[in-house]
Amino acid sequence: MASVSRSRTGAILWFALALLVILADQASKAWANDVLAASWIQVTGFFNLVLLRNTGSAFSFLADAGGWQKLLFSAVAIGVSAAMAAVIWKHSAEKLAPAAAALVLGGAIGNLIDRLMLGSVTDFIDLHIGDIHWPAFNIADSAIVLGVIFFILIELRKK
């Protein structure tokens, strides 16, 4: 009985991390929509803040697909979110797997909120070297990438 209680407490903490990612992502996107709507901000020689709308997925994949991609990416986000919630619930007593799942869950839901409310995902972080720019991204994207890196580390540690 005590392990079930500890497991549920652990799961709640990991779901709280996912919620923190969602809140940070949505707050930063609201800020970007307010402040960056009229211009962009050069932070350093390699880092700008600029408001972009992405109707596609990573690297604007399928951005010009005509609208059906919103349903596809929303369905994928819902499926991934369910899978990550299951990982959190099942592995809540561990450290790395539920942390990875919480980051991916928070990021997926953060971008899903944009997609459903705005029809596109708000991206605003622009990293570049000279004129070569990495595709713009946001906090949700960063959380997803970090979560995937954690999952890769878990797999590498198994071998």
SS3 breakdown of the chain: % helix, strand, coil, rounded to 5? 65, 15, 20
Token pair belonging to 72: 């596809």
Could you confirm whether 114 is annotated as catalytic?
no
Contact 115, 57 (CB under 8 A): no
Furthest-apart CA atoms within the chain: distance in Å: 59
Could you confirm whether 141 is annotated as catalytic?
yes
Question: Which of 25, 123, 126, 131 does the annotation list as catalytic?
Answer: 123
Contact 131, 45 (CB under 8 A): no
Q: Helix count (H) and strand count (E) of the chain?
A: 4, 4
Taking the C-alpha atoms of residue 24 and residue 27, their distance in angstroms, rounded to an integer, is: 5
Amino acid found at 45: G
Catalytic residues: 123, 141
